[in-house]
Structure 1
């Protein structure tokens, strides 16, 4: 891992280099995705079947071979071990409870001239969630994407999940059952995103697409944005740990590993206020790496984008954290709630030495779909509010039309929009 010291004259240069990530879109990927999306938009189910057989090495004869029923989901739930059933149900219950508190409610008021003004909240009609499939299966992703939509009141939750070589993951399908997914189609890649965005003879068009995927899925989500809404185009996973030296070094080392094991371009950073403690964590990492099944990925991630930063104090550490704006921020310090007040930019803040980031990934309650690549400066975690819309309410009284009409008329004439002005003036006595 890279070593940085805030007292070094080249610290800012080093920090910027550490955070730099090539986000330029691959022209070849974009071309392939454009062709796939256009083909699915034009040929619907036929194109979807063709691409699914080609990329997933399946042998679907018709779209019916790519549909899973509620009975299929229920059967998958019944097949998995009891402890996994319980874990899924516990996670879903906690995620639901948290997201219930995010629901926006309609409101209105009547001003002094009798005009009613307000805001009406309604759920989206239909959403699509993309879930990785096959060996790279993430049942937690099902719960995190489907449950807030369910809480928001979305009537139809359509899940797409690839099944490479026909491999269906029972835990993923069980998670769909627990989270209240309406329909499941065993398709993936850019073709699945296109099907959700444009609709086919069988897959209905959705209003919004959420969920993670590979580069082709990300490119497809970018392409269809505007036709439908999307959650975000996420970058590599990130963790930043601020530690004051009171947390066991092994715990912090494993927290850093927990994000590094995602892939070779994930980022894990530790900020400490003691060189001795940073050395202790490094020693723990060198020891524990021997026990990691994904050792090669972890070592590549830490070597590519990992770092240990020595800060002069926790105030400085928090300012660095605000600049980094990480996806996951662990405040592994004494009095974490007080230090959290100094954090302005982070996807999720994990407070205290017992709050490991992995708990948030699965079952704490808040959503694990979080802004990456410094976008936490201006965006937020996925939540119930992402599946709700706001409509403004305006009901002008006769008395209010006189006062507002005069104002509107003056402004409309100022913009040389005569019809606007006349429409307001017609309602004036």
Structure 2
């Protein structure tokens, strides 16, 4: 058991130290009165220490803030910088492309190369582009509703697919409802969506049996509620059920891309009808994509009543722009290579082993989950098997304490949970430094 008074005292101490060591970041936050929430995007207010750090520069796996402090960055832009910050080959490609025009509304040869490479990695054969995985998911949902004529989309409880309206559905006491905090939902989410717990095939079949589900949109492993890994046979069962009920299967690989060069789809030999992916493929430049199987593409192409060129709602002026495509090609060709993933995965194994050793030394009821190049410590043992279980095991004060403690000693984790991601630029020394600091944080918390 945690001494909550001790935890509160340590958190207060660490927040005070954070404020003292970061006066320039505090001043920038205080004067940002014309920004909604004082930040460029409101999620930047997920700040364990009371105000966010302000960026000066970021290179490789190191971030420097405006107060001059350097940090080992295990957050990596919540996957957007999985290639590392400012990877040399991507930066060079972006500079060349921008100097020659970025947004001409004309295709470039790079796009065909990227489509072929994504096919090699993920298996599905026909690709189109977006700027965010949220939009890739939205556009895929529209296409699959058009094909099937079915109105509903099925998601896992506490999944994460960006701000897709249909995805903000959870189970509470076995009943579907809007996810808490959902902002301005156009309709009650239960009108557009169905929901089943991850790792629950019986629950999935009950929902599919209604016959109104166009697609199951899922991460092969849940990530944004803490990593929740599939139980043996679960993903095969999902594929069998979706086929039995004539429902399309969409793998959102935006975060599970960490599983390997072709994400969990390739690493686990999955056969979805559609793949969506964002963030990491652009190496820091906004980029996303969705890939269709040949069967799905053929069915769409027979529907001549669909306007896929002008006002059909499955594109945007900047989608597939020359700059994003150039960045994606450079990142996939030169940075997030097969060899890079081998090294990143080995680093994540080292990270997880170090955390597990600290947990074992203190006999804590915690656990570590790993997904390829990504690892996360959980305040539960065994690790949760569903999104709802995972949400119930959250401990905001404990999470904030660890995040501020680490930040005060030069380490950044993903602010939404205790997740660490390895990049091609991450080093063993950085991983080992995390273990040392994490061990000190735990020792102080549980000191008699």
TM-score greater than 0.5 by the shorter chain: no
TM-score by length of 1: 0.27
Higher relative contact order (CA 8 A, sep 6+): 2
Q: TM-score, normalization: structure 2?
A: 0.26
